[in-house]
Structure 1
Amino acid sequence: MKHIDIEITAESGLELLTNDEIARLSEDSKDGDHQLFKKCILAVLNSTHITDEISYHNEQLKHFDVEVLQLNKGVKLKIKNAPSTALVDGIMIQGLKEQVFSVLRDIVFLKQELESNARIDFNSSNGCTNAIFHILRNAKALRPGYDPNMVVCWGGHAIPEFEYQYSKEVGYRLGLRGFDIITGCGIGAMKGPMKGALIGHSKQRINNGRYIGITEPGIIAAESPNPIVNELIIMPDIEKRLEAFVRLGHCFVVFPGGVGTAEEILYILGILLHPDNKDTPFPLIFTGPKASAPYFERIDRFIGDTLGAEAQSKYQIIIDDPVGVAKAVQKGVADVREYRKKVHDAYHFNWQLKILWGFQEEFIPTHENMRQLNLSKDQPTHLLAANLRKAFSGIVSGNVKEKGIREVAKHGPYEIQGDSHIMEQMDALLEAFVIQKRMKLNAKDYVPCYKVVNTTKDRKPEVVK
């Protein structure tokens, strides 16, 4: 692949900064976050290259650099060795250019904003939600005065072509009905719904469709934003990313995926199982083509065996029926609108939903933290869901995130231990993901970054076979 040096000028907000703000922006881009800044921009520019191998990006990173230049009329970025696939006739693709400046906004400029705002507090539950609101507002993602129409689509990046096509068809049916799409911004079941909705919007002459991609620094290189994303938002960590989804979205559609999708499912179920959220309408739909029915049977069985029937009552499963999914979304969003209207909650941000600190605090998947997770039934069900979510989050880290990969390479696989029954169910689910090649894109060479340990109070741990 050829690499090219290029300079690009900021648009959409950053051109309105004062000279002092630009000077600080330039200086801050050179501090300890500079490497992170470079990695995220390189990930955006690599969006046409499909891979989840960190080594690919790290090799390019050795020769890649970005410099923030101060101009009286705004901000300019000087990019060294940009991938040529990000340019057409020597000019950067407009969508990628917008995403690059979203990185500048969320990684560098937002840091200034958060540090200078005494009201921002990531160390308390209410403070965390307020900070997420601030980040989304700063990204202009919050738009008061519009009826609910945001559909969050979750699913895996490492999926077969027929599942991708199905997610695209569902997105198309949603687009025809005027719904906008939020995903994790990567490929696979994140790109499919956006691409389908784009076609649906075009047919309905909707020219202001929103395709919001929400990511976080640890995962952006492994799941580069797909080119359809027209609003890229980079949250500080996975927990803030997940809360941003549930605060912004009005309905959730889950396609087949791997451990990352299981993490998202457990996160939302843990929140919905909290007593304070019992009566809150929250449409949650699992869907896939006919050939993927066994996947959802396995997920449903795992949820029933670990979290129980109440958790299973929080979602519906629709197989091989994109139109049925779109109509269920319509009904669900209508219910959300009526409820928000009744309780005087905002349409653009779900303040009403109760989210505990255990779902908000950043979980760092060290070997010790993974071993210490309470994966037993001697706790409220919503807290068990929160801890199971952390276990899956650790596996995601070991699979595709740079820190997690280094941790596993240094200390060996993560050990996950807990009640015998829960561990057996978890081991079966993870083994199914491996067999179905849902762990990574390069599935044939996949080496598990974890081992499931079966424990009881009366005997030493033993590895589940």
Structure 2
Amino acid sequence: MSDLRPEPLEDDVPVDGTQVRYAGAAQLRVGEDQQYVTSDENLLEWVDPRDSALLLERTVRDSWRVLRIQSEFVAGFDALEKVTEAVTVFGTARSVPGSAEYELGVEVGRRLSEAGFAVITGGGPGAMEAANKGAFLAGGESIGLNIELPFEQHMNPYLTLGMNFRYFFVRKTMFVKYAQAFVCVPGGIGTLDELFEALTLVQTGKVKRFPIVLIGRDFWSPLVDWMRGTLLAGEKISPEDLELITVVDTPQEAVDVVIASGIR
């Protein structure tokens, strides 16, 4: 996919004409007086089965929606089929350019790219943009898998391949299917969701074990301590479950963990 990669930027300012390939759902703008309803919300909306007319209408619509879901999977598989060795980076959308957390993301993306890995993120702002930026400036493959949200979220400009998804579960499949490791920088609910989904897939044997690395001991240690002191102590998890997580302090340590895992 190197033919899709634009020349690395000379500075921190994105340039017009960046070659980004888009597939999947279109992003829509709506006026302030219009209600924005996502595809996930429509899919998961409860319909009272006692309302036979509405239930019939919903059943027909859901049947057709299956085809849209199928097409989104197909678009993702087609777009990402040539991705070889990749690492998915998760983190908050709220980190601000120039902040320590943002620069951490840039360094993660850069070092992963220099180690020969494609970088996959959620494609949005904050830590996602930072990791994509680091990979992009290093001349590596920088992939963004964006999601349709009630509030507007643009793809960041540091992508060599970008996709918009309507459905969270389709997007999550792409995060897992095309990555050989997960790296998490500090983040919020979305990052925790992605972290624990990855842990669940590995712990239940749904996927082969792969590295799950958390960068930032000060940020992540309280979570790991709670898992050890509450979940493990209460026999809700096994000791080996905690071994699925590696906590480090620096981007290079994270890259070293990924390489040492022998995923290549």
Normalised to the residue count of structure 1, the TM-score between the two structures is: 0.40
Residue in structure 1 matched with residue 148 of structure 2 by the alignment: 217
Q: Aligned AA for 1:141?
A: L
Residue in structure 2 matched with residue 287 of structure 1 by the alignment: 215
Residue in structure 1 matched with residue 257 of structure 2 by the alignment: 328
1:94 lines up with 2:21 in the alignment:
no
1:106 lines up with 2:25 in the alignment:
yes
Question: Could you list the per-position Cα deviations for residues 173-202 of structure 1 after superposition, in whole angstroms to 9, with x for gaps in the alignment?
Answer: 11222211100111221111222222333x
Residue segments in structure 1 that go unaligned for 5+ positions in a row: 1-11, 13-85, 109-119, 202-208, 338-465
Question: Could you list the per-position Cα deviations for residues 77-99 of structure 1 after superposition, in whole angstroms to 9, with x for gaps in the alignment?
Answer: xxxxxxxxx9x8xxxx223x746
Q: Aligned AA for 1:264?
A: E
State how far apart, in whole Å, the 1-side matches of 2:143 and 2:171 are.
12
Structure 1 segment 26-425 matched on structure 2, within 5 A = 93-95=16-18, 98=20, 102=22, 105-107=24-26, 122=66, 133-138=73-78, 140-143=79-82, 148-159=84-95, 161-201=99-139, 209-218=140-149, 221-277=151-207, 280-288=208-216, 293-304=217-228, 305-306=230-231, 308=237, 309-319=239-249, 321-332=250-261, 335-337=262-264
CA deviation after TM superposition for structure 1 residue 276, in Å: 4.9
Please give the secondary structure, in 2, of the residue aligned with 1:185: coil
State how far apart, in whole Å, the 1-side matches of 2:205 and 2:132 are.
34
8 Å contact 1:189–1:255 — kept in the other structure? Answer: yes
CA deviation after TM superposition for structure 1 residue 134, in Å: 1.3
| Bigger relative contact order, structure 1 or 2 (CA pairs below 8 A, ≥6 apart) | 2
Residue in structure 1 matched with residue 61 of structure 2 by the alignment: none
8 Å contact 2:203–2:241 — kept in the other structure? Answer: yes
Residue segments in structure 2 that go unaligned for 5+ positions in a row: 5-13, 28-63
State how far apart, in whole Å, the 2-side matches of 1:270 and 1:132 are.
24
State how far apart, in whole Å, the 2-side matches of 1:247 and 1:131 are.
17
Question: Could you list the per-position Cα deviations for residues 30-64 of structure 1 after superposition, in whole angstroms to 9, with x for gaps in the alignment?
Answer: xxxxxxxxxxxxxxxxxxxxxxxxxxxxxxxxxxx
Q: Which has the higher helix share?
A: 1
State how far apart, in whole Å, the 1-side matches of 2:212 and 2:226 are.
17
Q: Which has the higher strand share?
A: 1
Residue in structure 1 matched with residue 30 of structure 2 by the alignment: none
Q: Aligned AA for 2:89?
A: C
Over 4 Å off, 4+ runs: 120-123, 130-133
Percent identical: 23
Please give the secondary structure, in 1, of the residue aligned with 2:130: helix
Question: Could you list the per-position Cα deviations for residues 294-325 of structure 1 after superposition, in whole angstroms to 9, with x for gaps in the alignment?
Answer: 32012213444345344322110111x22222
State how far apart, in whole Å, the 2-side matches of 1:311 and 1:236 are.
32
8 Å contact 1:159–1:256 — kept in the other structure? Answer: no
State how far apart, in whole Å, the 2-side matches of 1:198 and 1:107 are.
24
State how far apart, in whole Å, the 2-side matches of 1:303 and 1:135 are.
38
Question: Could you list the per-position Cα deviations for residues 238-268 of structure 1 after superposition, in whole angstroms to 9, with x for gaps in the alignment?
Answer: 1221111001111111000111111111111
Q: Aligned AA for 1:281?
A: R
What RMSD, in angstroms, separates the aligned Cα atoms of the two structures?
A: 3.2
